[in-house]
Structure 1
Amino acid sequence: MKYRKITAVILAVATAICAAGCNGNDNSGTSSSGDATSSGSGDSSMTSDNTTSGGNSGTAQAQFTFSQVAMGGGGFVSGVFATSEQGLYYARTDVGGAYRYNKDTQKWESMSYDISEEDRGLLGIDGLAFGEKDPNKVYMLAGTEYFSNGKTCLLYSDDYGKTWNRTELTDMITAHGNGMGRGNGERIAVDPKNSDIVYVGGRTGGIIKSTDGGKTFTALDMGTKTTTSNGNGICSIIIDPKSGDDSACTTIYAAISRTQEENLYKSTDGGATWNPVADAPKGLYTQRMKYNGDGKIVITYASAEGPWNNNRIDGGVRTLNIADDTFTEINPAKKSFGDVVIDPSNPDRMVACTENIYVPQPNGQFGDEFYVTTDGGKNWTLLNEKMKMSDGGVEWISTASMHWCSSMAIDPNNTNKVMVVSGNGIFTCDNIWDESPEFYFFSKGIEETVPYDIISIPGGKLVSVIGDYDGFVQDSAEEYGMVHNSVAGSMSGLAVAAKATDIWVKCGGSESAAGFWYTLDAGKKWVNVTVSPLESGNVAYGGYVAVSADGKRFFWAPGNDSSIYYSDDQGKTWIKSEGGVGSKKIICDPVNPDYVYAASGGAFFYSEDGGKTFTQNMTLSVFAAARPVVAPGKEGVVYYPSMGLQVSTDNGKTFTRMDSLAACMAVGLGKGKTDSDPYTIFVWGKPTNDDSIGLYWSEDEGKTWSKVSDDQHQFGGPGNGYFVVGDMNKYGRVYMSTVGLGVVYGDLVQ
């Protein structure tokens, strides 16, 4: 994803979540072993058809299929890979797990649906590699510094990533899939002669080696400190495929993300001993290394580790002759370069891309440069003025560029085809050697946004707000929508007037940009409110918003303030509400404009005068600023997650705890089976007869529950947005936020 400060959600209710695998055994010496326990399938097309939810469960397992709301890319794909198998590609992302391309459906499919909430940090993929001769064997280095206590694991699969085993490596090395340098690579190298021999580099801890397919590891002594000041550590490993048949004679190069000292090391005995490569440039940061098939390694260099801090005019491309470790500059330009690919049938044909260099691209946006050579780098041709770009059927991408181009891949089965990553997805080109090659967006199935809110409007559209790319409006979850035409960056809050559903409000922004917007015509035109409600006059931004049922009063609790404000003139003037201090969530009654509800980290509030004053409910114990939910079309019915699920039928004055739930952290309501049936209730929590936290639903107003999620479909939990929302137009559909898998949705199998 683009650089952002992501704050972990702190749950008030202690949740005992069963983590799959990642339990390391303490072995003697330098060897570490993890229990190779299966964590289930990451196949996005799998249908949950279990009859029980596992563990001590008395809850029936519902049958749901799962997918992700079609927005189209949206986040940084940090690595892309083409294999020897026709049409088989892999991709890794910084906060949204990894994907495998399905040539039959022509769609990328997530391999990371099975990640539990406790292990959500494993959605940050810091390296990926596979067997050259058997690409069904996949290895991923997973971990995110600020999630899951910094847990680092090797995930390994022998069935194309449909099922995974894992070995915990936290005590040996660390990973940070969303850290600086996350586009470098790869930190994993698989011996091309034996796919069970794997080398893994850490941001700390140096290099470790496995000879049993990732089950156990031994630390390698490189004879140098490998922890770096930029936190990037070992940033790239490559194996000479022509080195001896005996793995003990394997030649390996490993780059360390540092300058002003030796930063490239070589081993000719399978990692037993290492020596610095004397002539490696000490003033540049290694980005990626590729073998050219002819005894040389092609290396890209930049002024910093990237992906966004290396745009100085410094860097380039060099070849390293393995025979004598001499370097030759073949720079297309003195700029920071992200990656290079080489035609496997002709080492003189190469494509190189810059990283974080902003120049005009064919669609009028600014992004990286692309170069081709057909003579081994003696001469390069800049493609930016020759190439074409298209959106690949995702209309909003026409306003975006190919940028942060840290990784490229060339298809060995079709050397006209190259793929390149971007801060918003993957682009590909099927005619790279033509005079006028055409790049097109190639991210169908990849959804890597960080969602903060979504609303299903009864009889209307699906509206969302997300990090980085504002939000989307779409007719259905299956069809690509249009990005909000405000294009205002990251949004944090969204609301729709219950009785005037063309009136929407949202908030976001930053310290330098006013953060409130509204539309009166269902998103056709957004208006940015520039008047700050803050008494200091400082810019207000972020937080949460609400709008009265009739659409006449706007509410805003800015993220950089502790008060609630309201406006009756569409933001021309603001008035501070009395009470409700510290509220992080606000929602208006769907029938009576006089009632407004709010929640802070320690209190629930209600207002009887249209939000002018708020009264704290002194009988309700609140431990987190969970989002209240109101019953559609009903006055005064409020659901609030706190010590289970609390329900009010008198406008928030009193609440009754729902005895059927032992825990509830998020709640949402959806359409009933028929117009005469009660609305469905979805929760992220657990019933009293179940010990498993997950997604559940009830069709009888909470008397009984069925489990929606299962071990194979956990999605890392509700992530940053921490919402569960039922669809108001389709019975049996539920939406849930995630850390980086966008908005996932489940459909009842009927």
Structure 2
Amino acid sequence: MNKKIIFIIFLLVSTVSSFAQFTFKNIPIGGGGFVTGVISHKTTGDIYCRTDVGGAYRWDAVSNKWVQLLNWIPDGQGGYMGVEALAIDEQNPNNIYMLCGTSYINNGATAILKSTDKGNSFTVVDVTSKFKAHGNGYGRGNGERLVVDPHNSSVLFCGTRANGLWKSIDGGVTWNLAWNGVTSTPNENGICFVLFDPSTASGGTTKTMYIGVSRKGAGNANFYKSTDGGVTFTPISPTTDFMPHRAVLQGTTMYVTYADSEGPGTNNAGRVFKLNTSTGVWTNVTPLTWGNTSLSYGGVDIDPANVNRVVISTTGVYNNNQYGTAWGDFIYFSTDGGSTWTIKNGSNSTFNNNGIGYTAGQVNWAECAVFDPFDSNKVRVVGGGGIFTCPNITATNPVWKLDVIGIEETAFLDGISIPGGPFVCAMGDMDGFLLNDITTFPQQLLQPNVGTNRSVVFAAGNTNKLARSSDGGKQVYYSADMGATWTGCTTTKGPGGRLALSADGGTIINCPNDANFSQQQKVYYSTDNGTNWTESTGVAVWGAIPVADPMNSNYFYIYNPSDGKMYVSSNKGVSFSALGNPGYTSVPWSTTLIRPVLGYEGHVWVPLANNGLKYSIDHGQTYTTISNVTYCRSIGIGKAAPNAAYPTLFIWGTVGGVKGLFRSTDKGVNWIRINDDAHQYGGIEMIVGDNNVFGRAYLAVQGITYTEDLSTLGIENNTVLSNNQIVLYPNPSSKTINLTVEKPNEIVRISVFDMLGRSVETIEQSDIKSEMALGTALTPNIYIVKVFGTNFTKSFKIIKK
């Protein structure tokens, strides 16, 4: 048998049976956020979608799911997850562009992201100084503001919210103002879409184009036409009573949808107009329902194979009894160019939850409706909960499927991993879930179903006892059976906010939302499951997040990022006092989640952003600084490693000059970087460690992302590792590892990484007769060796002496 033998000269770690290999996955929840647009390439069939806060996705037809494209976004650029527009180059479908930015994140930093490989990698063009996007702003579901000239891949136009129309002639690298006839609008939505007429090419560029402007009222033109490639524009508005949302053009036929506001919320009034571009004649083709009146309209598309087949959607309308069970928007279909319309998602339609059992299927905020580029009967409609697909829009009784496999945009607000029990999460808009299995879609929300839950906690010494805080319903709930059932507290002191539950489960601390947003938020405690509440004395912290000592039921802690002090109660929440001072966080307006430590009384860890990471072991009185952590945005604490003396720490921070997700099993003395540059998620604001599985932590990004340590494969002499045809032969006497790949002519690449995840040496071998030594020039330290083949990856940890 031909074999390739590679000698790696290192001293083995004593725990060589553990690989250091990490993975990132999503707990499958499904959709849960506003998909603001679906964009396709009519020739290749490539399909993309954009979201308001959850990045952008490409449809993978082979695996039948959506694939996230923006996991690589680094800390400090998290606002780019708000994708305001997406454009595909018609001449070269490998080229895609995104207009990204969120006004309240990173000071509104805005960029054009360009990919030349369908979103597998991007370059970033910062345009903040020229114009700003707001992917989560009102009007975010309107048409595409960013477009590529269908006849010239170098020419792009971008309509902006407040700075007019901009143009690039070098493939999106540089941008200049093209037209400022309209800049800002009263609703701060500006130019809400740009549309080319492909039939008007001359001199290598398209000459005729249209723009929609998000405004209404007498004298406020809102639809413009240019015949000179965007140099000048002339108003040709069919109405100024409503605001345009989207437009679509095929041949000489154009449709434009209008609503009474920029959306996604509307007031049930609007129009749909049809334009013959050769004659300039507009026709009102608005469907009339509900007493012969119109509604607000958003989505519109023309069948690429038949100009007379048109689909439109209402937006922000809750008058349609969909499937007979959920009230939301209407989807209309016409086969005669808009002369007549048929409702395709009424009570005669059915909902396919696609295995996501807790969903009701409501199509709301339907700002975009499109035909599949390769199947004229298939229609996709966006909504506040994801994407809904109808495989046959012509059916008498259409079926609408929640088509969100791979899309995760739920808001993970809090979570607990109960020792010996389930993972329970509190979610925005959808209560939360009790998850005994994190690999399958949940079938039921936490009950009663009351909307957003802000906080969920458990009693460390009585793990059957849980509590959660909600924006609605009874506002505070408790459970005596590990979250299986919940009882609303008899009284409440206000909605939302955060809770803490004493170790014995006897005391609930409640810090409800301060409706007036003052700097003096009150703290309350109850010793009778919320029948009575008493105000705690000595503490008033805006946005207070209390935590309980997991060992001593008398102690609670509240950190105040505004004055840098730790407020401690040693009498079950009756009173608090400023016992110690870990110092200011460098971003006092942000959420600071301090963490106690299961099994250790008085231990509290405090992330302080640019001021690093500190911890106390004396109930918050004095603090030790973790010197090798210079930045710490968040911390989570989970199950200890085998034979470790302290629970596992997870942080999003900076260690050794490298920013990322790190893990320590020795109380912060040493750190291993878990993530790589492909998994940065714009930074991670909340981490919840798992108390049952070593190496697992839950991250508040794209719903609930979790990371796991795959160090479960043993390395023993002459042991063949599963299905990879690799044999590892440790040889302690010669201090070497011999890797034998039992595949003739297999090309193997070996990379060595330091504990921060930086590649320090790489070598490839394809000659099966030669041998090589790797790592002889490395300085003494701990390293990770990864072996890559055509169909395998294996990793192990070594120490260089």
The bucket for the TM-score relative to the shorter chain is 0.7 to 0.9
**How do residues 607-626 of structure 1 correspond to structure 2 at under 5 angstroms?**
607-623=569-585, 624=588, 626=592
Q: Distance in 1 between matches of 2:619 and 2:77?
A: 38
Is 1:562 aligned to residue 521 of structure 2? yes
Structure 1 residues 412, 524: CA separation in 2 closer, same or farther (over 3 Å shift)? same
Q: For each residue in 1:638-683, what CA deviation from the matched residue of structure 2 results, as whole angstroms up to 9, or x when unmatched? A: 2222443222223333332223322323211122332666321111
Aligned to 2:478: 518
Q: Distance in 2 between matches of 1:558 and 1:284?
A: 40
Q: Per-residue deviation at 1:495?
A: 0.7
Q: Distance in 2 between matches of 1:460 and 1:109?
A: 31
Is 1:666 aligned to residue 634 of structure 2? yes
Kept in 2: contact 1:474–1:480 (CA 8 A): no
**How do residues 419-498 of structure 1 correspond to structure 2 at under 5 angstroms?**
419-481=380-442, 482-498=444-460
Q: Pick one of 332, 351, 354 that aligns with 2:287.
A: 332
Q: Pick one of 682, 686, 694 that aligns with 1:731.
A: 694
Kept in 2: contact 1:604–1:622 (CA 8 A): no
**How do residues 154-553 of structure 1 correspond to structure 2 at under 5 angstroms?**
154-221=112-179, 224-260=181-217, 261-277=220-236, 279-291=237-249, 293-308=250-265, 310-312=266-268, 314-333=269-288, 334-359=294-319, 360-362=321-323, 364-383=325-344, 384-398=346-360, 400-481=361-442, 482-509=444-471, 515-529=475-489, 531-533=491-493, 540-553=494-507
Q: For each residue in 1:398-442, what CA deviation from the matched residue of structure 2 results, as whole angstroms up to 9, or x when unmatched? A: 2x5100000122111111211111111111111111111100101
The amino acid of 1:734's aligned partner reads A
Q: What secondary structure sits across from 1:421 in the alignment?
A: strand
Q: Distance in 1 between matches of 2:640 and 2:61?
A: 37
The amino acid of 2:647's aligned partner reads Y
Q: Distance in 1 between matches of 2:582 and 2:143?
A: 51
Q: Per-residue deviation at 1:527?
A: 2.6
Is 1:633 aligned to residue 599 of structure 2? yes
Q: Per-residue deviation at 1:87?
A: 6.0
* Greater shift in the superposed pair: 363-372 or 602-611: 602-611
* Greater shift in the superposed pair: 566-575 or 163-172: 163-172
Kept in 2: contact 1:193–1:245 (CA 8 A): no
Q: What secondary structure sits across from 1:617 in the alignment?
A: strand
Aligned to 2:552: 592
Aligned to 1:652: 620
Q: What secondary structure sits across from 2:71 in the alignment?
A: coil
Decide which structure has the larger Cα Rg and report it.
Answer: 2
Q: For each residue in 1:474-500, what CA deviation from the matched residue of structure 2 results, as whole angstroms up to 9, or x when unmatched? A: 124332223222322222222111132
Kept in 2: contact 1:733–1:746 (CA 8 A): yes
Q: Per-residue deviation at 1:85?
A: 5.9
Q: What TM-score comes out, normalization by structure 2 length? A: 0.80
Q: Pick one of 647, 650, 659 that aligns with 1:682.
A: 650
Q: What secondary structure sits across from 2:358 in the alignment?
A: helix
The amino acid of 2:337's aligned partner reads G
Kept in 2: contact 1:363–1:389 (CA 8 A): no
Gaps of 5+ in 2: 1-18, 289-293, 515-519, 712-801
Structure 1 residues 545, 380: CA separation in 2 closer, same or farther (over 3 Å shift)? same
Q: RMSD in angstroms over aligned alpha carbons?
A: 2.1
How many residues in Structure 1 have an aligned counterpart in Structure 2? 669
The amino acid of 1:659's aligned partner reads S
Q: What secondary structure sits across from 1:693 in the alignment?
A: strand
**How do residues 139-154 of structure 1 correspond to structure 2 at under 5 angstroms?**
139-154=97-112
Kept in 1: contact 2:434–2:484 (CA 8 A): no
The amino acid of 1:472's aligned partner reads F
Structure 1 residues 646, 353: CA separation in 2 closer, same or farther (over 3 Å shift)? same
The amino acid of 2:483's aligned partner reads G
Kept in 2: contact 1:290–1:341 (CA 8 A): yes
Q: For each residue in 1:296-337, what CA deviation from the matched residue of structure 2 results, as whole angstroms up to 9, or x when unmatched? A: 1111111111101x232x212111111122111111231111
Kept in 2: contact 1:201–1:237 (CA 8 A): yes
The amino acid of 2:314's aligned partner reads T
Q: What secondary structure sits across from 1:635 in the alignment?
A: strand
Kept in 1: contact 2:253–2:307 (CA 8 A): no
Aligned to 1:23: none
The amino acid of 2:687's aligned partner reads V
Identity of aligned residues (%): 36
Q: What secondary structure sits across from 2:49 in the alignment?
A: strand
Gaps of 5+ in 1: 1-60, 534-539
Q: Distance in 1 between matches of 2:379 and 2:165?
A: 30
Q: What secondary structure sits across from 1:306 in the alignment?
A: coil
Bigger proportion of residues as strand? 2
* Greater shift in the superposed pair: 606-615 or 320-329: 606-615
Q: For each residue in 1:232-269, what CA deviation from the matched residue of structure 2 results, as whole angstroms up to 9, or x when unmatched? A: 00001111121125344521001111113211111112
Q: For each residue in 1:9-57, what CA deviation from the matched residue of structure 2 results, as whole angstroms up to 9, or x when unmatched? A: xxxxxxxxxxxxxxxxxxxxxxxxxxxxxxxxxxxxxxxxxxxxxxxxx
Structure 1 residues 592, 142: CA separation in 2 closer, same or farther (over 3 Å shift)? same
Kept in 1: contact 2:193–2:211 (CA 8 A): yes
Kept in 2: contact 1:343–1:410 (CA 8 A): yes
Q: Pick one of 644, 667, 670 that aligns with 1:704.
A: 670
Q: For each residue in 1:89-127, what CA deviation from the matched residue of structure 2 results, as whole angstroms up to 9, or x when unmatched? A: 211111111111222222212111122221111111111
Kept in 2: contact 1:173–1:201 (CA 8 A): no
Kept in 2: contact 1:297–1:321 (CA 8 A): yes
Structure 1 residues 267, 504: CA separation in 2 closer, same or farther (over 3 Å shift)? same
Q: Distance in 1 between matches of 2:500 and 2:693?
A: 24
Q: For each residue in 1:439-484, what CA deviation from the matched residue of structure 2 results, as whole angstroms up to 9, or x when unmatched? A: 0101111111222212122222111112222222212433222322
Q: What TM-score comes out, normalization by structure 1 length? A: 0.85
Q: Per-residue deviation at 1:363?
A: 5.1
Q: Distance in 1 between matches of 2:108 and 2:178?
A: 22
Structure 1 residues 424, 614: CA separation in 2 closer, same or farther (over 3 Å shift)? same
Q: Distance in 2 between matches of 1:294 and 1:332?
A: 23
The amino acid of 1:350's aligned partner reads V
Q: Distance in 2 between matches of 1:340 and 1:216?
A: 32
Aligned to 2:682: 716
Q: Per-residue deviation at 1:177?
A: 0.7
Is 1:572 aligned to residue 531 of structure 2? yes
Q: What secondary structure sits across from 1:395 in the alignment?
A: coil
Is 1:747 aligned to residue 708 of structure 2? yes
The amino acid of 2:506's aligned partner reads K
* Greater shift in the superposed pair: 107-116 or 478-487: 478-487
